[in-house]
A and B are shown apart, each in its own frame.
Chain A
Amino acid sequence: MIDGILGFAVLLVKIAVVLGILLLLAAYLVWMERKLLGRFQVRLGPNRAGIFGLLQPIADALKMVTKEDIVPDQADRLLFLLAPAVVTATALLMFAVVPFGPDLTLMGKIVPMVVSDINVGLLFVFAMSSLGVYGVALGGWASNSKYSLLGGIRGAAQMISYELALGLSLVPVVMLSGSFSLVEIVRAQARIPFVLIQPVSFIIFIIAAMAESKRIPFDLPEAENELGAGYSTEYSGMRFGMFFIGEYVHIQVLGALVAVFFLSGWRGPVLPGPVWLLIKMLAVAMVMIWIRATLPRFRYDQLMEIGWKVLIPVSLINIVATGALMMLF
């Protein structure tokens, strides 16, 4: 009994730390992005609230919380109110299966540095990623605004198209590690990170991940100069903030997944595991911001062509090629 309560307490602390870091980092990722974009465009970026603008995320959060929560006329009220929660919750849930360090030993008990090592972890990630589409599509539909509807439909079509490429690009990783469990996948990369064995998968995964998180150059669902703010046009206050939190948590999770599947997860010399995972996550996020500052937006037909006519055939051929090489050697 005591043992169970103690275990539960340890679990709660672990969950609190994971969620706290995810949410805090989401806020500071926004700050980092604004700061870097500022520098890329020869501006200063936020620098008023606190030193280097470091209090900006807190100021933003306070402002969003105290803003009026407007529900537009004739909106589908319930769906409108709940859609942002779907985006945030699915993004946070995806992190549950990501391992962030080697097992710790605490009072003779092994405390694994992962929230939940279910043996279908990879499929769980995909399930959550698919459910995230609902938040975007329903939010856009429920607003009863033309911009929102168009943004929602575009978002849904884009996310399901790139999810295929995202899934297929991971088949070689599953083949090489022989497991869906993310802990096993990291263990399989003890000798060599998969990015060196599977560079094609790595590139497809990064491109598809950027399209999944709806960022420039794939930000058609919220193309400012065509659709206002796309599916989040009608949202205000913290509900808009929840779409934002969801998006930035999603970026972190995708960064963590890139690290787990291709960059050998938390493994690295000298520094402890969680720090390495954090470094890799931030490196991926930084590359995403860099690409955002560099590239213009795709046209919709180009977006669909890259997804269906390039990424999917290439990843299918990559699977067969990997399989053949695995059988031969």
Chain B
Amino acid sequence: MQPIVDPFPLSPWIPGPFSLIAYAFAVAVITAILLFVSSWLGEKKPNPEKLRPYESGVIPTGTARLRFPVPFYLVAIFFLIFDVEGAFIFAWAVSAESLGWTGFLEITFFIFVLIVGLFYVWKKGGLDWRPQRTRK
């Protein structure tokens, strides 16, 4: 990676931060128009039947804010751990060439530890999604 040497980084001729901001603004305008159109056009005749949550024709019972199973929470935690470690790997990858053998051996050890961690989670049943019943 070479250092940024823009004389005038906000110039519209350079595909840099300025054009990204302009693009983001255009996207925001488009989504705002779509949101506005969807609430502006169209009929508005609400009635209790229409506003009831859809459950295949059955009248819903109880709250819809169900407690969700623990494995989903575990997945979120594993994601956090592995994503942060992925960020470390990316930081090495971008300069892999210049870091040479030293960097390579270090990242190999790092990835080895990562794989050991993954297998630990695996063996502990953190990635099990099947029902835990034992078959007779």
Binding site for B on A (CB under 8 A): 3-4, 7-8, 10-12, 14-16, 18-19, 23, 65-74, 81-82, 84-85, 88-89, 92-93, 96-97, 109-112, 114-119, 123, 141, 143-150, 153, 156-157, 160-161, 163-164, 167-168, 171-172, 174-175, 178-180, 228, 233-234, 237-239, 241-242, 245, 300-301, 304-305, 308-309, 312-313, 316-317, 319-320, 323-324, 326-327
Contacts and interface: CB of A to CB of B under 8 A. Distances in A.
11 contacts: A68-B45, A93-B23, A116-B16, A118-B17, A146-B53, A149-B66, A150-B66, A153-B72, A164-B83, A171-B90, A241-B38
B65 A149 contact: yes
B-side binding surface: helix, strand, loop or mixed?
A: helix
B104 interface: yes
Interface of B: 1, 4, 11-13, 15-17, 19-20, 22-24, 26-28, 30-32, 34-35, 37-39, 41-46, 48, 50-56, 60, 64-66, 68, 72, 75-76, 78-79, 82-83, 86, 89-90, 93-97, 100-101, 104, 107-108, 111, 114-115, 118, 122, 127-130
Given A66-B43, A175-B97, 16 more contacts: A15-B26, A18-B23, A23-B30, A71-B51, A109-B13, A115-B15, A115-B23, A117-B15, A118-B20, A148-B64, A156-B76, A167-B86, A171-B89, A239-B38, A323-B104, A323-B107
B13 A7 contact: yes
A82 B42 CA distance: 18
Contact of B46 (A70, A82, A118): A70
B95 A178 contact: yes
B129 A304 contact: yes
Contacts of B60: 145-146
Nearest to B74: A157
Contact of B96 (A72, A82, A238, A323): A323
B127 A178 contact: no
A254 to B, nearest CB: 18
A146 B65 CA distance: 7
A53 to B, nearest CB: 24
